């Protein structure tokens, strides 16, 4: 409210301050005041900061340019003939002197309502320009500015804005051209200050560069800091570590000379003022450290126009600023903005002139604005090129330590003759430093590289990073590691694994687990008294530590402290695949099965492509499931640690390996495919490993017959009734007798994808995807129901506000009791229809209802324009009050009087549908005085008025005459204070219950107050 009052005060003051000077300045040569009065005004609305000259678009800087442009346009007889340009100014600052995104749109609305301007000039700040730009787009009014440099204004949303000043999008393209020109395509480090106050100049300037760099796929690292609490050494270190710097700050940063480059975009100081200040000037001979630091700094800024028209414009600008504002304008790049506003106003005048020649009337903004876009126009700042988005093509400069200038026009770089750029080392830095940004890419000869690799490998072998001391392992409590198992698992593991029967009869086993560094781990003991750490074993242990994949259990390390020789791996809490398959309480659908199978394929595919090469002992008990239901393969690698297996564990071994006297402990890749085929049948049927129909065979008998190689070869039974025959075909291919006929795991993955599309993800991901989809659907349903609820709530509240006053309705909604309230002075209006009984007797009930509905709908529409409250209608009676429930001082009498005059005028023109020739006669009575008001009743509550004032108002109506307004002396006293109402004395009349009263007729309202 404080800001609104400030704007209102300014609006009242402007006609006094601006009308005479603007009129005087806008007369052309030979024009007189009389000539001007015969011309039609074209009003411009100017919204800029009033006195904060830190902004390049502050009114003391821009006002002289706007005023001179208006005078030049008015003086040109070929421009806008028979019209005269005037402008009105509004301040976009808040009470702290900052550009305000809330004040600027309020000022725009005030100017629109007060003057209905043909165009808006400004604002300049991005946050102020955004809401004003949306308003002008909605109003179809052109908006011309040389500010609003943010990238968002080129998005296509602000269709009314024409920008004749530099923009950050063009600045970003200039920086990109610099990078392309010198071949820098690797990465850029963006450093900028952003305290999220004022107009965030650093943020918006860097945004243009960030967006353009992203478009050409240059990696961008950003670093945001606040100047109040910044350590510049940390910023500089980060730039050195992450790449070439793009700095956007308000202060100077001294850069160490051994750096490659720092491109400095002047943002808050975008016009380079600090380079010439006493405090920061880097060119002064006395600042030797600063000069040395700035050898690596290149500054991106605007190029000052070189044409003589601009030089003359700047001289006039200085003189006008001194004359109009007593403000001294220095030589600065900021004057480009004033030139941009001048050129923008001249461009608008030409575009408006062309539009008016075509239409001979005030054109809409959508007809004028396109004439300014995609156009070339000669201006004081040089030749204006506006693109198809209404943004000016700008010339930029690259400043070196000796202020060597580069220019960009039409998106290419041009070196200024006779100048050169200074580079440390004599040449531009390479795109990627030879030794890396962090000196982590040192260059060696081929022999040196091989030597370094060998040294690094030997260092890793000697370090024994895999080694775990037994003292670092804490064994788990037996009660905490009990979990359900299967009979087959117990029988295969033998007596070395403890087993017991629980109280409820369920068979339980415990896995060897412990804690290492606070994490639970799986511990597998090695059947060897001591481990000889030869070179082969060291390499195996190193390879185990290097191999990591989502579907392989992570190798944590090994303990070789006798007698506790063991391997420590990641612990998977869901148990082995064999445990899950043989647990009848777990239901597995095909989505679950395919997910587990697919995890095995992914893990084996990675293992076969790694240095370990093959598994050799793949079986369902070596496939474990973690708490996310992701299957992981374990017991791979470390072939030197393996011992002989019993017959039951050979059910998964390939025939060619069974027939060898000494099969390779690491197995073969084709043997792993055979083992996978056995697991496939195990998952599909859930009847144990190598299930055969008919008489059951012992594991030893099965292994012996597989070794014999009888024809047909002994293989597990395939379910011929299965609805997935392609899975059975895959099993047969995997356990083919000839190893070369077995598919590779990458082929198996493709076949499984064809069979089941959901095999691409694991079971938990599938479940989460379904839950997410359900949640999204639920959110949409809740949103839809919430919107419906809010709509019904809005309708109910609207109906409630029609029945009761807004303040009273809010109290009832909050569950509060509405207390009766006394009002010292209100004005009450009563009216009824003379002869209504006769009309009712001669009309049908439906015609009477239609008559009253038409009449009071008309009345209701009229009273909305006044500060009144409709109390009720009873039959043909109509009761209105002003001054309650919200008090309005002494205005209640004026509001009721004006409303009564408006209703009387409406009645004179009102037509009765079924009797169009009959004049409806309204009798009105008004009285002022104190009343008491409150809500009466709980069902269908009514807001009622009580007191003698109500009765007297009714008597004023009943003793009045048709088509006249009868007012009491009390009301007459209230109206006399406004000195604008015409009253006529009626005289003394006898009022029932009151005696003699002097009353008056209200005849009308005069123009002067």
**Could you tell me the CATH number of the domain that includes residue 338?**
3.40.50.2300
* pLDDT grade for 856, boundaries at 50, 70 and 90: confident
pLDDT (tens digit per residue) in 210-263: 888 777 766 666 667 665 565 666 666 666 555 544 444 433 333 333 333 455
Please report the pLDDT score of residue 215 as a whole number: 73
Residue whose token pair is 């050494």: 233
Confidence check: pLDDT of 911 > 80: yes
Task: Answer yes or no: do 66 and 124 share one domain.
Answer: yes
Question: What is the residue-averaged pLDDT of the chain?
Answer: 79
Local structure of 145: helix, strand or coil: strand
Please report the pLDDT score of residue 130 as a whole number: 92
pLDDT, mean of residues 269-284:
48
Tell me which of 165-174, 185-194, 447-456 is least confident. Answer: 185-194
Task: Answer yes or no: do 104 and 210 share one domain.
Answer: no
Confidence check: pLDDT of 649 > 50: yes
Angle ∠(381,383,384) on CA atoms, nearest 5: 85
Please give the Cα distance from 809 to 712 (Å, whole number).
Answer: 91
pLDDT (tens digit per residue) in 38-83: 788 999 999 999 999 999 999 999 999 999 999 999 999 899 988 9
The neighbouring-strand residues paired with 192 are 224, 248
Confidence check: pLDDT of 140 > 90: yes
Q: Does residue 721 lie in a domain region?
A: yes
Q: Domains in the chain: how many in total?
A: 4
Please report the pLDDT score of residue 555 as a whole number: 92
Q: Does residue 563 lie in a domain region?
A: no
pLDDT, mean of residues 476-499:
40
Please give the Cα distance from 336 to 397 (Å, whole number).
Answer: 14
Last residue of a domain, one of 385, 415, 445: 415
Q: Does residue 440 lie in a domain region?
A: no
pLDDT (tens digit per residue) in 710-719: 888 888 888 7
Spell out the residues 6+ positions from residue 178 whose beta carbon is closer than 8 angstroms to its own.
184, 263, 298, 300, 398, 413
Confidence check: pLDDT of 319 > 60: yes
Domain extent at residue 949? 815-1005
Task: Answer yes or no: do 53 and 117 share one domain.
Answer: yes
Look up residue 429 and give its DSSP letter. Answer: P
Task: Answer yes or no: do 234 and 159 share one domain.
Answer: no
pLDDT, mean of residues 930-936:
86
Confidence check: pLDDT of 868 > 70: yes
Greater confidence, 904 or 719? 904
- Dihedrals phi, psi of 946, to nearest 5 degrees: -135, 145
Task: Answer yes or no: do 21 and 107 share one domain.
Answer: yes
Please report the pLDDT score of residue 84 as a whole number: 93
Q: Does residue 482 lie in a domain region?
A: no
Task: Answer yes or no: do 864 and 978 share one domain.
Answer: yes
Contact 534, 542 (CB under 8 A): no
Give the 3-state secondary structure of 35-86.
Answer: HHHCCEEEEEEEEECCCCCCCCCCHHHHHHHHHHHHHHHHHCCCCCCCEEEE
Task: Answer yes or no: do 289 and 316 share one domain.
Answer: no
pLDDT (tens digit per residue) in 756-790: 765 455 666 677 776 777 787 788 888 888 888 88
Tell me which of 295-299, 452-456, 618-622 is least confident. Answer: 295-299
Confidence check: pLDDT of 284 > 90: no
pLDDT (tens digit per residue) in 722-734: 767 888 889 889 9
Confidence check: pLDDT of 201 > 70: yes
Confidence check: pLDDT of 21 > 60: no
Task: Answer yes or no: do 577 and 701 share one domain.
Answer: yes
pLDDT, mean of residues 485-511:
36
- CATH number for position 909: 3.30.70.1230
Classify burial at 749, counting beta carbons within 10 Å of its beta carbon; exposed 0-12, middle 13-18, buried 19 or more.
Answer: middle
pLDDT, mean of residues 687-708:
86
Please report the pLDDT score of residue 223 as a whole number: 67
Please give the Cα distance from 564 to 475 (Å, whole number).
Answer: 12
pLDDT (tens digit per residue) in 811-823: 777 777 777 788 9
Task: Answer yes or no: do 384 and 292 share one domain.
Answer: no
Q: Does residue 837 lie in a domain region?
A: yes
Confidence check: pLDDT of 321 > 50: yes
Confidence check: pLDDT of 860 > 90: no
Please report the pLDDT score of residue 434 as a whole number: 59
| Exposure b/e, 31-45, CB count within 10 A at least 16 = b | eeeeebeeeeebbbb
Confidence check: pLDDT of 153 > 50: yes
Residue 341: closest CA among 518, 89, 101, 600: 89
| pTM of the shown model | 0.44
Report the C-alpha dihedral over residues 652, 656, 659, 665, rounded to 10 degrees.
Answer: -70
Please report the pLDDT score of residue 17 as a whole number: 31
Task: Answer yes or no: do 639 and 618 share one domain.
Answer: yes
Confidence check: pLDDT of 412 > 70: no
Q: Does residue 498 lie in a domain region?
A: no
Six-digit token string for 113: 């309502």
Confidence check: pLDDT of 422 > 70: no
Please give the Cα distance from 275 to 292 (Å, whole number).
Answer: 15
Q: Does residue 158 lie in a domain region?
A: yes
Residue whose token pair is 């009824």: 832
Q: Residue 313's CB: how many other CB atoms inside 10 A? A: 22
Residue 632: closest CA among 603, 606, 652, 669: 603
* pLDDT grade for 171, boundaries at 50, 70 and 90: confident
pLDDT, mean of residues 319-337:
92
Last residue of a domain, one of 355, 384, 415: 415
Task: Answer yes or no: do 81 and 214 share one domain.
Answer: no
Please give the Cα distance from 48 to 88 (Å, whole number).
Answer: 11
Classify burial at 543, counting beta carbons within 10 Å of its beta carbon; exposed 0-12, middle 13-18, buried 19 or more.
Answer: middle
Task: Answer yes or no: do 748 and 828 share one domain.
Answer: no
Instruction: Tell me what percent of the residues of the chain surpass a pLDDT of 90.
Output: 26
Local structure of 881: helix, strand or coil: strand
Q: Does residue 780 lie in a domain region?
A: no
Q: Are strands 869-874 and 877-882 parallel, antiparallel or unpaired?
A: antiparallel
Last residue of a domain, one of 699, 729, 761: 761
Confidence check: pLDDT of 932 > 70: yes
SS3 content of the chain, % helix, strand, coil (to 5): 45, 20, 35
Q: Cis peptide before 370, with omega less than 30 degrees from 0?
A: no
- CATH number for position 667: 1.10.510.10
pLDDT, mean of residues 947-975:
89
Residue whose token pair is 């009766």: 820
Contact 761, 772 (CB under 8 A): no
User: What string of DSSP letters covers 852-871?
Assistant: HHHHHHHHHHHHTTSS-EEE
Please report the pLDDT score of residue 433 as a whole number: 64
């Amino acid at each position: 409210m404080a800001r609104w009052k400030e704007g209102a005060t300014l609006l009242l003051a402007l006609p006094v301050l601006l009308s005479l000077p603007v009129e005087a300045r806008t007369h052309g040569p030979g024009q007189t005041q009389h000539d001007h009065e015969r011309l039609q005004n074209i009003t411009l609305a100017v919204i800029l900061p009033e006195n904060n000259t830190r902004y390049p678009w502050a009114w003391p800087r821009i006002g002289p340019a706007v005023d001179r442009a208006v005078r030049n346009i008015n003086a040109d007889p070929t421009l806008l003939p028979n019209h005269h340009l005037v402008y009105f100014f509004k301040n976009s600052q808040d009470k702290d002197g900052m550009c305000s995104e809330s004040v600027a749109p309020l000022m725009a609305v005030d100017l629109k309502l007060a003057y209905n301007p043909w165009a808006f000039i400004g604002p300049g700040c991005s946050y102020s320009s955004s809401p004003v730009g949306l308003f002008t787009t909605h109003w179809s009014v052109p908006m011309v500015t040389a500010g609003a440099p943010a990238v968002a204004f080129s998005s296509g949303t602000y269709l009314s804005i024409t920008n004749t000043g530099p923009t950050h999008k063009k600045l970003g393209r200039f920086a990109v051209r610099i990078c392309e020109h010198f071949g820098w395509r690797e990465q850029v480090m963006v450093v900028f200050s952003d305290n999220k106050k004022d107009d965030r100049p650093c943020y918006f300037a860097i945004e243009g560069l960030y967006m353009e760099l992203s478009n050409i796929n240059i990696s961008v690292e950003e670093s945001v800091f606040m100047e109040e609490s910044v350590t510049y050494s940390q910023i500089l270190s980060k730039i050195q570590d992450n790449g070439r710097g793009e700095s956007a700050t308000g202060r100077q940063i001294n850069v160490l000379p051994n750096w490659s480059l720092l491109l400095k975009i002047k943002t808050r100081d975008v016009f380079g003022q600090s380079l010439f200040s006493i405090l920061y000037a880097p060119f002064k001979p006395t600042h030797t450290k600063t000069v040395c630091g700035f050898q690596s700094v290149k500054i991106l800024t605007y190029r000052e126009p070189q044409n003589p028209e601009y030089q003359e414009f700047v001289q006039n600008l200085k003189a006008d600023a001194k004359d109009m504002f007593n403000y001294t304008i220095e030589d600065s790049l900021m004057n480009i903005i004033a030139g941009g506003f001048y050129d923008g106003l001249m461009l608008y005048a030409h575009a408006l002139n062309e539009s008016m020649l075509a239409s001979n009337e005030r054109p809409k903004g959508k007809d004028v604005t396109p004439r300014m876009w995609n156009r070339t126009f000669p201006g004081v700042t040089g030749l204006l090129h506006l693109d198809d988005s209404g943004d000016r093509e700008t010339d930029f400069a690259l400043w070196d330590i000796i202020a060597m200038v580069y220019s960009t026009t039409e998106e290419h770089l041009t070196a200024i003759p006779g100048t050169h750029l200074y580079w440390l080392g004599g040449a531009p830095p390479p795109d990627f430093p030879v030794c890396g940004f962090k000196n982590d890419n040192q260059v060696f000869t081929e022999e040196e590289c091989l030597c370094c690799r060998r040294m690094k490998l030997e260092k890793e072998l000697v370090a024994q990073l895999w080694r775990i001391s037994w003292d670092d392992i804490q064994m788990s409590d037996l009660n905490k590691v009990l979990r359900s198992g299967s009979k087959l698992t117990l029988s295969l593991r033998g007596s070395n694994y403890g087993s017991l029967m629980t109280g409820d009869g369920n068979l339980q086993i415990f896995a060897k687990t412990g804690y290492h560094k606070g994490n639970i781990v799986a511990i597998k003991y090695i059947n060897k008294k001591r481990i000889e750490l030869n070179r082969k074993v060291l390499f195996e242990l190193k390879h185990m530590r290097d191999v990591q994949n989502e579907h392989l259990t992570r190798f944590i390390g090994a303990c070789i402290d006798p007698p506790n020789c063991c391997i420590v791996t990641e612990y998977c809490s869901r148990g082995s695949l064999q445990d899950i398959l043989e647990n009848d309480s777990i239901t597995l659908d095909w989505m679950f099965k395919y997910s587990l199978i697919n995890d095995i394929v992914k893990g084996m595919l990675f293992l076969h492509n790694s240095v370990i090469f093959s598994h050799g002992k793949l079986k369902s008990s070596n496939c474990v499931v973690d708490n996310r239901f992701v299957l992981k393969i374990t017991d791979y690698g470390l072939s030197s640690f393996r011992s002989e297996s019993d017959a039951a564990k050979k059910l998964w071994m390939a025939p060619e390996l069974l027939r060898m006297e000494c099969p390779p402990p690491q197995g073969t890749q084709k043997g792993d495919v055979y083992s996978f085929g056995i697991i496939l049948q195990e998952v599909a049927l859930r009847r144990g490993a190598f299930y055969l129909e008919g008489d059951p065979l012992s594991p030893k008998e099965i292994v012996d017959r597989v070794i014999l190689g009888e024809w047909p070869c002994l293989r597990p039974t395939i379910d011929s009734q299965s609805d997935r025959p392609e899975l059975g075909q895959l099993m047969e291919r995997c356990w083919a007798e000839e190893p070369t006929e077995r598919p590779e795991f990458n082929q198996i993955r493709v076949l499984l994808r064809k069979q089941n599309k959901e095999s691409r993800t694991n079971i938990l991901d599938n479940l989460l995807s379904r839950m997410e989809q359900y949640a999204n659907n639920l959110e949409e349903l809740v949103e839809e129901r919430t919107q419906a609820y809010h709509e019904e709530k809005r309708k109910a509240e609207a109906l409630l506000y029609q029945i009761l006053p807004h303040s009273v309705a809010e109290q009832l909604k909050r569950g509060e009791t509405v207390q009766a309230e006394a009002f010292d002075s209100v004005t009450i209006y009563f009216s009824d229809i003379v002869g209504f009984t006769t009309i009712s007797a001669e009309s049908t009930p439906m015609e009477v209802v239609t008559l009253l509905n038409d009449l009071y709908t008309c009345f209701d529409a009229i009273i909305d324009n006044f500060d009144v409250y409709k109390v009720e209608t009873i039959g043909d009676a109509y009761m209105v009050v002003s001054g309650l429930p919200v008090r309005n001082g002494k205005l209640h009498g004026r509001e009721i009087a004006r409303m009564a005059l408006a209703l009387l005028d409406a009645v004179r023109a009102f037509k009765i549908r079924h009797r169009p020739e009959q004049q409806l006669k309204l009798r009105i009575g008004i009285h002022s005085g104190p009343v008491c008001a409150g809500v009466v009743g709980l069902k269908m509550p009514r807001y009622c008025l009580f007191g003698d004032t109500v009765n007297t108002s009714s008597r004023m109506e009943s003793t009045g005459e048709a088509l006249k307004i009868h007012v009491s002396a009390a009301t007459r006293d209230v109206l006399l204070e406004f000195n604008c109402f015409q009253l006529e004395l009626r005289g003394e009349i006898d009022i029932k219950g009151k005696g003699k009263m002097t009353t008056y007729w209200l005849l009308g309202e005069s123009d002067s107050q």
